[in-house]
């Protein structure tokens, strides 16, 4: 399959609410869409690069630079029969997994559209309802947190995740647990703690959390293994896992028992499938993470979530939770806590609202 054209497009999209984590606040997203065309068929992807290097070192600008200056010349005009071949052509670039995933995910959508099959089929998944959870940012008060958690459970979400940081942990967790004793409750620290906080984090054990997500450094697995021996609550790794090899090492030393899998973070679907298989071989469940995507990225995440080892609710909540107007025509809504895999066509199964996308685009570059 010869790639005739690669296009990058940037669109500002404002979240309905500021989303606060231990690494910063996001509200004005800079969405990056990529498309790859071959023989009149076009595949689409959404990048998960951030506005600032808080979650990872990549940003909209680094991805644009790396794709324009190093990837485009090796992709456009070249043929790739498999995702493996495509990634081989990009393997000389160290890191920049989110930028790589931007290209790779568009390749998979293009391939699925050429074959006329839904993406999940090409990935090896099975069409099934996807149970979803919700990730609640750091709020101004414990009362607001409890109200948001309560509303989320009423809407049917299967799991509530609270963002935490030092000074905002035990109090909101205790209050939500007291108000909603039966729910699956989790926390996500986004690397805000150190091993010296082990005693403090162990106090979370009494709240029966399903897991604590990425408590320690983004580039660490060893301290996570030490911490996991000191707390009962399962550790779920997010920022630390960039490849199947990372997953193998982390699970081997029991740095955690669960992985939050984000396609963008690991460099694409091919890597995500490899992480999936490693986790499965260790008996470690996965769930699909989110990066405040528009419906384009959210649709791709739902297709990935059809693989068998996605055994916990993902951060794949309703599009309408984030956006007044999404970029896609189809609603992407959780009903009774589950999302259907979008299939209004082959590939990721959603269509762009072209008129809206054109109108709000601030930058386009094509090769």
- Out of 16, 100, 161, 262, pick the active-site residue: 262
The reply to whether 238 sits near Mg ion by the rule CB under 5 A is yes
Residue 228 contact partner, candidates ligand OSB, Mg ion, none, CB within 5 to 8 A by sort of partner:
none
Q: Which residues are at the interface with ligand OSB (CB under 6 A)?
A: 55, 135, 188, 190, 238, 289-292, 315, 317
Q: How far is the CB of 190 from ligand OSB (least distance, A)?
A: 5
User: What token pair was written down for 148?
Assistant: 């948001």
Q: How far is the CB of 50 from ligand OSB (least distance, A)?
A: 7
By C-beta, is 44 or 49 nearer to ligand OSB? 49
Q: Pairing state of beta strands 185-188 and 212-213?
A: parallel
CB 192 within 8 A of CB 220: no
Residues 175-194 that bind Mg ion (CB under 5 A): 188
d(CA 111, CA 231): 45
d(CA 121, CA 340): 14
By C-beta, is 264 or 346 nearer to ligand OSB? 264
Q: DSSP letters of 132-190?
A: B-EEEPPPS-HHHHHHHHHHHHHTT-S-EEEE-BTTBSHHHHHHHHHH-TTS-EEEE-T
Residue 291 contact partner, candidates Mg ion, ligand OSB, none, CB within 5 to 8 A by sort of partner:
ligand OSB
**From the CA atom positions of the chain, what is the Rg in Å?**
20
Q: How far is the CB of 292 from ligand OSB (least distance, A)?
A: 5
Q: State the residue number with the nearest CB to ligand OSB.
A: 290
d(CA 319, CA 339): 11
Residue 55 contact partner, candidates ligand OSB, Mg ion, none, CB within 5 to 8 A by sort of partner:
ligand OSB
Residue 46 contact partner, candidates ligand OSB, Mg ion, none, CB within 5 to 8 A by sort of partner:
none
Q: How far is the CB of 314 from ligand OSB (least distance, A)?
A: 9
Residue 130 contact partner, candidates ligand OSB, Mg ion, none, CB within 5 to 8 A by sort of partner:
none
The reply to whether 315 sits near Mg ion by the rule CB under 5 A is no
By C-beta, is 313 or 346 nearer to ligand OSB? 313
Residue 226: closest CA among 260, 201, 255 = 255
Residue 315 contact partner, candidates ligand OSB, Mg ion, none, CB within 5 to 8 A by sort of partner:
ligand OSB
Task: Clarify whether 163 is annotated catalytic.
Answer: yes
By C-beta, is 90 or 291 nearer to ligand OSB? 291
CB 296 within 8 A of CB 46: yes
Q: How far is the CB of 179 from ligand OSB (least distance, A)?
A: 21
CB under 5 A: which stretch of 145-153, 161-169, 230-238, 356-364 binds Mg ion?
A: 230-238
275-to-57, 240, 272, 297, 307 alpha-carbon distances in Å: 21, 13, 5, 19, 12
Residue 233: closest CA among 264, 258, 252, 210 = 210
Q: How far is the CB of 38 from ligand OSB (least distance, A)?
A: 30
By C-beta, is 35 or 186 nearer to Mg ion? 186
- Out of 16, 100, 161, 163, pick the active-site residue: 163
Say whether 309 sits in a helix, a strand or coil: coil
Q: How far is the CB of 358 from ligand OSB (least distance, A)?
A: 25
d(CA 163, CA 298): 20
Rounded to the nearest angstrom, the gap between the alpha carbon of residue 230 and the centroid of all alpha carbons in its chain is 28
Q: State the residue number with the nearest CB to Mg ion.
A: 238
Residue 211 contact partner, candidates ligand OSB, Mg ion, none, CB within 5 to 8 A by sort of partner:
none
d(CA 279, CA 248): 8
Q: DSSP letters of 233-265?
A: SPEEESTT--SHHHHHHHHHTTS-SEEEE-HHH
Q: Which residues are catalytic?
A: 163, 262
Kindly list the residues in this chain that would bind Mg ion in the complex (CB under 5 A). Answer: 188, 213, 238
């Amino acid at each position: 399959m010869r790639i005739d054209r690669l296009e990058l497009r940037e669109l500002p999209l404002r979240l309905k609410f500021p989303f606060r984590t231990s690494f910063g606040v996001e509200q004005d997203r800079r969405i990056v869409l990529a498309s790859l065309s071959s023989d009149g068929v076009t595949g689409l992807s959404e990048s998960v690069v951030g506005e600032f290097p808080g979650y990872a070192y990549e940003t909209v600008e680094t991805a644009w630079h790396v794709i324009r200056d190093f990837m485009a010349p090796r992709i456009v005009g070249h043929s790739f029969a498999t995702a493996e071949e495509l990634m081989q052509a990009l393997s000389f670039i160290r890191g920049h997994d989110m930028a790589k995933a931007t290209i790779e995910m568009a390749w998979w959508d293009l391939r699925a559209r050429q074959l006329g099959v839904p993406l999940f089929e090409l990935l090896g998944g099975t069409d099934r309802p996807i149970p979803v959870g919700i990730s609640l940012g750091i709020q101004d008060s414990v009362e607001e947190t409890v109200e948001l958690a309560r509303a989320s459970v009423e809407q049917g979400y299967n799991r509530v995740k609270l963002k935490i940081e030092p000074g905002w942990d035990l109090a909101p967790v205790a209050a939500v647990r007291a108000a909603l004793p039966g729910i699956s409750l989790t926390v996500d620290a986004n690397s805000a703690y150190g091993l010296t906080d082990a005693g403090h984090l162990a106090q979370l054990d009494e709240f029966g959390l399903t897991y604590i997500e990425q408590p320690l450094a983004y580039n660490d697995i060893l301290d996570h293994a030490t911490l996991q021996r000191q707390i009962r609550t399962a550790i779920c790794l997010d920022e630390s896992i960039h490849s199947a090899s990372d997953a193998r090492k982390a699970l081997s030393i029991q740095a955690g028992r669960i992985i939050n899998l984000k396609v963008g973070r690991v460099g694409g679907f091919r890597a995500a499938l490899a992480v999936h298989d490693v986790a499965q071989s260790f008996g470690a469940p996965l769930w699909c993470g989110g990066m405040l995507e528009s419906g384009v990225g959210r649709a791709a995440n739902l297709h990935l979530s059809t693989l068998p080892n996605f055994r916990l609710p993902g951060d794949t909540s309703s599009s309408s939770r984030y956006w007044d107007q999404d970029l896609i025509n189809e609603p992407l809504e959780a009903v009774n806590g589950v999302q259907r895999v979008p299939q209004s066509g082959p590939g990721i199964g959603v269509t762009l609202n072209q008129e809206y996308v054109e109108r709000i685009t601030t930058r386009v570059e094509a090769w």
